[in-house]
Amino acid sequence: MITQHTQNLITNLFDQVLNLTSTNYVQIGNYPLEFFCDYFVRRYASLNEKRK
Judge whether residue 41 has pLDDT over 70: yes
Structural domain of 9: 2-49
Structural domain count, the chain: 1
More confident residue, 17 or 28: 17
User: How buried is 4 (Cβ within 10 angstroms: 0-12 exposed, 13-18 middle, 19+ buried)?
Assistant: buried
Quick check: 2 and 32 in contact, CB under 8 A?
no
pLDDT at 13 (0 to 100): 86
Judge whether residue 28 has pLDDT over 80: no
Quick check: 40 and 20 in contact, CB under 8 A?
no
Predicted confidence band of residue 20 (pLDDT cuts 50, 70, 90):
confident
Q: How far apart, in Å, are the Cα atoms of 25 and each of 18, 34, 35, 48?
A: 16, 14, 14, 33
Mean pLDDT along residues 29-33: 76
